[in-house]
Amino acid sequence: MDLPWLLIGNFNSPLSPDDKGGGLDVSSHATEDFQEFAFKARVEDLHSTSCQFTWTNGHVICKLDRTRVNALWLEQDRSNYAEFRPPGVFSDHASCIVSILESSRRKAKPFKFFNKWTTHLDFTQIVQSQW
């Protein structure tokens, strides 16, 4: 696909052992399908804020919910992120708000030099003092 795109939702699998706390350890078998999908689809997590773990049963916490984007999405000049709110209010999964904003960064202006400046009487002195 030659357009930017985003996937959001419960992927029902951690990507690594660091994505889980409590309960049984995460096995490589539990993560390999999701890792393979992410590699083949060439998607990665959109920058996220707030809670790290997005699901709980009260004893185990885990990052199951993600916002994944492709490289074209990341190459666009945008300031965007996913904010995950803690699970437990309405669901055992975190709610997610994706903020999609145009970048507020100003574009760098190219340096311009006018040859006429060299004719100013103090040109050499100013350049030497500032260099």
Tokens of 16: 């690594």
Q: What would the pLDDT profile of 54-67 be if each residue is shown by its tens digit?
A: 999 989 999 999 99
| Cα 21 to Cα 24: distance, rounded to the nearest angstrom | 9
- Sign of the dihedral through C-alpha 81, 84, 90, 92: positive
pTM as predicted:
0.70
Give the max Cα distance, the chain: 78
Q: What would the pLDDT profile of 84-115 be if each residue is shown by its tens digit?
A: 988 877 889 999 999 887 655 556 677 777 78
Contacts 24+ apart (CB under 8 A), 18-22: 19/53, 19/62, 19/63, 19/64, 20/53, 20/60, 20/61, 20/62, 20/63, 21/53, 21/60, 21/61, 21/62, 22/59, 22/60, 22/61
Predicted local confidence at residue 115, as pLDDT: 84
Predicted local confidence at residue 104, as pLDDT: 57
Predicted local confidence at residue 55, as pLDDT: 92
